[in-house]
Structures are given as structure tokens and as C-alpha cells.
Amino acid sequence: MASTGLPIVVSRELAERSNHKLRRTGERWVREKMAVLYSSIAVVLLTLLPLIGVEGLGWYSLFGIVVPYVALATFVAGFIYRVLKWGSAPVPFHIPTVCGQQKSLPWIRASEIDSPSTTKGVVARLALEILFFRSLFWHERVEVRKAYQLLYRRNLYLWLGSLAFHWSLLVILFRHLRFFAEPVPSLVLLVQTLDGIVQNLFPVLYVTNFFIFVALIYLLLRRLRDSQLRYISLPSDYFALFLLLGVVSSGILMRLAFQVDLVKVKGLMVKLLAFQPVAIERIGLVFYVHLFLASILIAYFPFSKLMHVAGVFLSPTRNLKNNSRMERHINPWNHPVKVHTYEDYENEFRQNMKEVGIPVEKE
């Protein structure tokens, strides 16, 4: 009987471990799916609000005046709060993150961008990071080929998708200045003309509209398909992507399917900017959906991960010079510490040390 007990015990332990692993996998699967579901439902409900409020209840003033003003005030207050909070955070350590040769001896070539030792190098490094996402281009993808062997590879698709999204968003925001300025600056008109360079083939399609939509779809699918990325994703990560997709999609629909009165749109925007708001009806239902989702995005911006647009300038790992071999950086939090030197120790225990045969420096 003893010989048959061990396999039974082992098999039960293996079964319990297997069941525990399955339960954890099931819980993880449910958590990941719920994060996507909650975020998508939230954006759908936000889309329905202006549809019901404007079309069914006629709340043009609420969605055309009150909501944009509240969103703008929330954005300004939240942005200032986050910047002041980051700026007041103490940085007691010299912690620039570098990946190049530090400046040391004259005959050793230093990396002035990857390991900047001057203000000029820091500015160049930040410029390349902000404009071209240089760190995202290098060593983003890690694979395990063999035991104790890691392979670092470039993820060109992620770099191109991020580059396309951010630059397209910048151009689109710049193009929208034509709704707030009268007369429209010539540079804005030039950018709009260049953005619509293919309008002979597609009369109402801008290039940046296509790029930003494709980039957002790629970023969403990447987060859904990558199991490791999906594991660390929060509902807020999906919410930002779905909200951006809602804003972009409603804007494209206004160009392709649902025509709106651009003269009335500009009249409303100019009045809002001059703090002389006037509710304008019958602009277009899709316009109010687009304006409401954009207002929600603006209000949500300072309290989300999208705030990295300001955080990159305040990051001590990026905006500090790597000059620790040229200057001594002392932690300002270091306070005087009472130490017990060897000389004090020997003066205190010299007689005892001599009695047990331990050599002393002073007799």
C-alpha cells in the first residue's frame, strides 16, 4: 500500500497546481476582456449622449457652449496642476539614463547625444526624442532565443505607427486653426493644401486623416494581440485609444459622409474663443458628437498617460547632463552622521586588544 500512496499524492498535487493555474489564467482572461469591454462601452455611451441631447432634447447650448468651456477649464487647471506637481518634486540624485560612452579622457570618443555632457547635447537628445522618438526606435523588442540569451530587436512597426500618429495629430490640430482665426494665416492654408495634395483623387480626404486612423488601429490591435502588453494594460489605456478613435472617426465622417455647415462651425468657434458664445442650431449632428468627444478628450488629457507630452521635458532621466566624471554631485538630503572611526575604536578598546594579542597602531 505504501508504494501506491506516493503516486496518488503526487498526482493530486499536480492536479491542484493545474487547477490553480487554470483558475489564474481564467481570471486573467476575464480581467483583460473586461478592460476592453468597459472602455468600449464608456466611449459608446459618451457618443450617445450628444445624439440624445441634441437630436432628442435640443440641448444645443449645453453641448455647443457649456461642455467645451468646462473641458477647456479642466484642461488648463489640470495641466498646470500636473506640471507644478512634477516641477516641485525633489530630484536628489543625478540619474540621467544613457546608452553611450560617457565623456572622460580626451582620447576616448564620447557620445554627445546618447550620453550628453553639455547643455547642447541635452537639447539635441530631447529634440530627437520629441520629434522622432529616437529611444523607441532602438531595442524595444526583446526575445528569448535560448536559455540565458536575450535578443534585442528593433520594432519598426511600432516606431512608424507612433510617428505617424503623433505627426498626423500635430498637423490636424494645426489645420483646425482655420476655424479659430479670421483671416486664416497663410501658413495654415499652406499646410491644409499640402495635406490635401491628393484631393483630385479623393476630393474630401486629407492624408493625415488616413494616417492617424491607420496608426490608431495598429496601436489598438498591437495592444490586443500582444499577450504581455495586454497583461499590463489598464482600462484607461484602452479608453484613451477608443476615445481618440471616436474623435478621428467622427471627424472623417463629417468629411466623407455627413456634410456640415463649415461657416456655422467657424462662427461658433470664433464666438467661443471671443467669450461671446451663441448657440447655433442645425450645424450637423455629427459635429456635436465630434465636439463632445473632443471636449471629453481635452478634459481627460491632464489626468491620463497622454500627459507624457509635458512629462518628457521634466523627466530627470532625460533633461540632465551626464557629467558625473567632471562634477561631483552630492545628495542634498545627506545629513551629518556621527561616525565611530577606527582611531576612536582603538582608543576605546586598546587595552583589551593588547591583552588578547590583537595588534594596535598606537601603544
Residue of higher predicted confidence among 327 and 46? 46
**pLDDT over threshold 60, residue 270:** yes
CA distances from 51 to 44, 98, 285, 300 (A): 11, 50, 7, 21
Q: How far is 212 from 171, CA to CA, in rounded Å? A: 10
Angle CA(161)–CA(162)–CA(164) in degrees, nearest 5? Answer: 65
The residue ranges of every structural domain in the chain are 11-335
Mean pLDDT across 256-273? 84
Cell of 133: 522618438
Mean pLDDT across 71-99? 90
Q: What rounded mean pLDDT belongs to the chain? A: 84
CA 347 to chain centre: 60
Q: Which residues of 185-197 are buried (b: 16+ CB within 10 A; e: fewer)?
A: eeebeebbeebbe
Residue of higher predicted confidence among 151 and 38? 38
User: In sequence order, what are the residues at sequence separation of 6 or more whose Cβ sits closer than 8 angstroms to the Cβ of residue 223?
Assistant: 229, 230, 233, 237, 238, 241
**Amino acid type, 124:** A
Q: Which phi and psi angles does 266 have, rounded to 5°?
A: -65, -35
Angle CA(27)–CA(31)–CA(37) in degrees, nearest 5? Answer: 140
Cis preceding linkage at 183, omega within 30: yes
Lowest mean pLDDT among 164-168, 169-173, 254-258, 277-281: 277-281
User: In sequence order, what are the residues at sequence separation of 6 or more whose Cβ sits closer than 8 angstroms to the Cβ of residue 233?
Assistant: 32, 35, 223
Residue pLDDT, tens place only, 28-76: 778 888 889 999 999 999 999 998 988 778 788 888 889 999 999 999 9
pLDDT at 126: 92
**pLDDT over threshold 50, residue 112:** yes
The DSSP 8-state label assigned to residue 51 in this structure reads I
103 and 113 in contact (C-beta within 8 Å)?
A: no
pLDDT at 61: 86
pLDDT at 164: 93
Q: How far is 152 from 139, CA to CA, in rounded Å? A: 5
Q: How far is 265 from 251, CA to CA, in rounded Å? A: 13
Quickly list H helices, the chain.
Answer: 2-50, 60-61, 67-88, 119-132, 134-137, 156-175, 186-195, 207-225, 227-232, 235-256, 262-273, 285-300, 308-314, 342-355
The DSSP 8-state label assigned to residue 142 in this structure reads E
pLDDT at 2: 47
Q: Where are the beta strands (DSSP E) in 51-175?
A: 141-146, 149-153
Lowest mean pLDDT among 19-28, 202-211, 300-309: 19-28
Q: Which phi and psi angles does 153 have, rounded to 5°?
A: -130, 155
Q: How far is 290 from 169, CA to CA, in rounded Å? A: 15
Neighbours of 165 (CB within 10 A): 20
257 and 249 in contact (C-beta within 8 Å)?
A: no
290 and 251 in contact (C-beta within 8 Å)?
A: yes
CA atoms in the 13 A half-sphere facing the CB of 51: 7
pLDDT at 15: 62
pLDDT at 1: 45
Cell of 271: 464666438
Residue pLDDT, tens place only, 175-229: 999 888 888 888 988 888 888 776 665 556 788 999 999 999 999 999 998 888 8
Domain 11-335 CATH superfamily: Transmembrane di-heme cytochromes, Chain C (1.20.950.20)
Q: What global pTM score does this model have?
A: 0.81
Cell of 162: 507612433
pLDDT at 163: 93
Mean pLDDT across 135-164? 77
**pLDDT over threshold 60, residue 10:** no
